[in-house]
Copies of this chain bind each other. A is one copy, B any other.
Amino acid sequence: MGNDLHGPEGMPEGKGLLIVYTGPGKGKTTCALGTAFRAVGQGLRVLMVQFIKGSWHYGELDAAKMLGDDKFEIRPMGRGFVKVGGAEADPEDVRLCEQAWEFGREKIYGEEYDLVVLDEINYVISYKMLDAGRVVSALRARPERIHVICTGRSAHPSLIEAADLVTEMKEIKHPYTKGILAQRGIDY
């Protein structure tokens, strides 16, 4: 407990946080969704740019629609499952990542949103589909009021250095190791 329960007393309004959810465990995107949900309840306008998009149906897309696009907008922009391994990144993936980043950057520097989630950006940076230096510079120089969350495993050290809050999700036990597959409504 403790951390989740700090009171708002004396809080300096107007200072946006840079938050990173990383690590190999489950819960990075989920945690960003939870933060987005909480933010919407406080009247903040939220955008989530998804750099990697699943090919199946996501619960969060429908739930965000229930809240209203003016409150929480989710934009799936990358391709489906991207696995590069040792090879060079596919130019088409690089192009889509650039597009997603340009879109997100523009919104971070705009007036439309109070919180922008860059979902799986750590992952695409770690696979060299996007340049860490360029992203981190833009995030450091962003308007002071805006909150940004970056998710994905293997967050770049320079992003961790720039961040206000970094939580690493560590996998202690995973249902797939018990032979249970992904569950609708829980995993996606």
A15 within 8 A of B: yes
In contact, B164 and A55 (Cβ under 8 angstroms): no
What is the CB-to-nearest-CB distance from A40 to chain B, in angstroms, rounded to a whole number? 5
Please tell me if the beta carbons of B183 and A54 are within 8 angstroms of each other in the complex. no
Residues of B within 8 A of A13 (CB): 184
The interface residues of chain B lying within 8 Å CB-to-CB of A91 are none
Interface residues as binary, A136-174 with B (CB distance below 8 Å gives 1, 0 otherwise): 000000000001000011000000100111111111111
Chain B nearest CB, measured from A168 CB (Å):
4
Q: Check: A87 CB closer than 8 A to any chain B CB.
A: no
Contacting residues, chain B, for A110 (C-beta < 8 A) = none
Let me know if B167 and A42 touch, CB within 8 A: no
**CB <8 Å contact, A66 and B67:** yes
| Residues of chain B contacted by A60 (CB below 8 angstroms) | 37-38, 41
A21 contacts the other chain (CB 8 A): yes
- Contact status of A41 and B66, CB under 8 A, knowing A10-B181, A181-B11, A188-B8: yes
Binds B, one of A24-32, A92-100, A101-109: A24-32
**Per a CB cutoff under 8 Å, which of B36, B81, B173, B188 touches A163?**
B173
